[in-house]
Amino acid sequence: MQIGQTLRDRYKIIRKLGYGGFGDTYLIEDADSPTRAKCVLKHLQPKVKNLKELAEVLPTARRLFKIEAETLERLGKDHLQIPTLLAYFEENSEFYLVQDYIDGYDLETEIVKGKELSEARVKSLLVEILEVLEFVHRKGVIHRDLKPPNIMRRKADGKILLIDFGAVKDVSTLSTNPQGKVGSTIVIGTEGYMPAEQNNRCPMLCSDVYAIGAIAIQALTGVHPSKLPMDKAEFIWRDQAQVSNDFAKIINKMVRYDFSLRYANAGEALQALKLLVSSTLPPTPIVTPTQSPSQAINTPIKSPSQAINTPIKPAAKPAPKTSSRRGVLTLLGLGGAAIAGTLLLTYLKPNFDVISIPPESETSTSKTTETIRPTNISEPSPQPTSTHNPLMKTQPSTLKPSTPKPTKTIRPTQVPTPSYTPSPQPTSTRKSVQPQPITPKPTPKPKPSETIAPIRPTQGSTPSYTPSPQPTSNPPPPSNPGSLDFEGVDKGQ
């Protein structure tokens, strides 16, 4: 066939894609398509020596070609990973198939001589191939020529497609034997991927499984199956690949010499492989509301017994801020210091000496007074009036001068010897509180008079006083309800 040639006034040959012992493959253009779609043309012809032999083979070739073309058409319509058969026809005693063009590449691009693929990559590849082959086997179809060049990966979606089924190749292998019988003279298949029963012209579904196992070994070792050593018709390959024992067992079962020991079809092999893949996958982490997706991934999954025996920890309370803690401690310290200072001042508060001044004689015109003599305390603090000593006053009393009269004398039951030595007081950081004096109301200018001055008694002596001028005005009574009312005394009450 020539480039540019047109078949049936429709399919124009653009270039040659491949060739082999069973026929040639071309890229063509469909003139009847609105978009002039690209297609693949397969050219098949019987291997005959003369026209007489051709005449004997042609009827059988036509029958086989029609059956296989219908099978391909059915597979292509029911599965998207098998090329669709667009047309098939006969011209000049030669047979042609027109199929969809697959924009992609075959597995010879991925499985390269001398390059070893990882176990995970080969597992994934086998699953992809077996999923398509499982569909083919359910339809009762044997591919018969599975190898890397007949498995393509589509660029558009990366899917695996099975091409170049060997069933239609029977047409190109027909011939007559010496007895004049028409039959296939060439075994369909490729060395290294073809098991013994297929080589004996008795292919079965498990023959395709053998071919997939051989492809797996080639991907793991980087060596073509026909170049691997054999022991009793079994591949010796484990020493040339890094693979787990479980995966090696599946591959070895796929390529057993005895077909009865293999997986019966692609479905069984696929099930065993998926079970292995699922058992080796890491467990999926459970994401809880208190965990992020990056933390759930790194969290180990506990067994049920560990989960039951693990105590539930209460949620940690947030730590208080340092500034708040320092503030609380400062307030507590100041409060404690204030309480301690108050107690100390209360303990050290001086006792007031109440001195009663008796008159010098019966005719004395002076008035008996009581003098409160406080100790020298720099920081007095107001304290409540003591209840145990009714004579104690917190404020010095103001004497009301009057005309000298005989007065009643209030004699103290016991006058202790006043002796007091001031003791050092602790320096307080608190602000001094000065007693508020009672300011008397303005009064007229007092007349000279005598004021009773307290005389500090000494030990063994009788208290005495020296009169001094006193104003004659009548000041207001003291505000302290505990003061003595000397006016009442003067009036003889």
Active site residues: 145
d(CA 164, CA 403): 150
CA 157 to chain CA centroid, Å, is: 33
* Contact of 161 with 154, CB cutoff 8 Å: yes
In angstroms, the Cα distances linking 96 to 56, 62, 130, 364 are 20, 11, 29, 162
3-class DSSP state of 183: strand
Alpha helices in 94-159 (DSSP H): 119-138
* Contact of 205 with 142, CB cutoff 8 Å: yes
- Residue in this structure with the two tokens 């070609």, named with its chain if needed: 65
Alpha helices in 234-292 (DSSP H): 245-254, 266-280
DSSP state of 201: T
d(CA 64, CA 97): 13
* Contact of 486 with 369, CB cutoff 8 Å: yes
List of E strands, 296-395: 353-356, 370-373
d(CA 195, CA 211): 8
* Contact of 393 with 482, CB cutoff 8 Å: yes
d(CA 169, CA 23): 8
CA 394 to chain CA centroid, Å, is: 74
DSSP 428-482: P-SPP----PPPPPP-PPPPP--EEPP----TTS-----EE----S-PPPPS-TT
d(CA 398, CA 352): 17
